[in-house]
Amino acid sequence: NAGVTQTPKFRVLKTGQSMTLLCAQDMNHEYMYWYRQDPGMGLRLIHYSVGEGTTAKGEVPDGYNVSRLKKQNFLLGLESAAPSQTSVYFCASSYSAFPIGSEQFFGPGTRLTVL
């Protein structure tokens, strides 16, 4: 089991460029999440999905879009990157969002720099 994987691991963008971050999980989890982590800010939820074909906004959704076309994949898109989106992005998945099975498993992260 690979668990949760993220592609790419590192990326440098120029302001205004677009990119897609890919998250994949092989645990047959229903729920998937995208977070960003900045120094002193902790983990902040961007978007999440409660199942294939569904998405929902988290705490900081502006400037990002997501898609969950397949259960095992969750894509995070930046249409027009801004320096404020320089961050470490973590994907996570969980079996459920209810008290039982709600613990999340994280991918290794993507370090994104926007110049």
Partner 1 sequence: RKEVEQDPGPFNVPEGATVAFNCTYSNSASQSFFWYRQDCRKEPKLLMSVYSSGNEDGRFTAQLNRASQYISLLIRDSKLSDSATYLCVVKEGGNTPLVFGKGTRLSVIA
Q: What is the DSSP letter of 1?
A: -
Report the residue number, 19 or 45, with the smaller CB distance to partner 1. 45
Determine, following the binding rule CB under 8 A, whether residue 62 of this chain makes contact with partner 1. Answer: no
What gap in Å lies between CA 103 and CA 108, rounded to an integer? Answer: 16
Binding residue for partner 1, selected from 12, 27, 41, 115, defined by CB under 8 A:
41
**CB neighbour class for 80 (10 Å; exposed up to 12, middle 13-18, buried from 19):** exposed
The stretch near partner 1 (CB under 8 A) out of 12-20, 70-78, 79-87, 102-110 is 102-110
Binding residue for partner 1, selected from 29, 66, 107, 112, defined by CB under 8 A:
107
**CB neighbour class for 9 (10 Å; exposed up to 12, middle 13-18, buried from 19):** exposed
Instruction: Calculate the CA 2 to chain-centre distance.
Output: 17
Determine, following the binding rule CB under 8 A, whether residue 61 of this chain makes contact with partner 1. Answer: no
Residues that bind partner 1 (CB under 8 A): 33, 40-43, 45, 48, 50, 58-59, 90, 97-99, 102-109
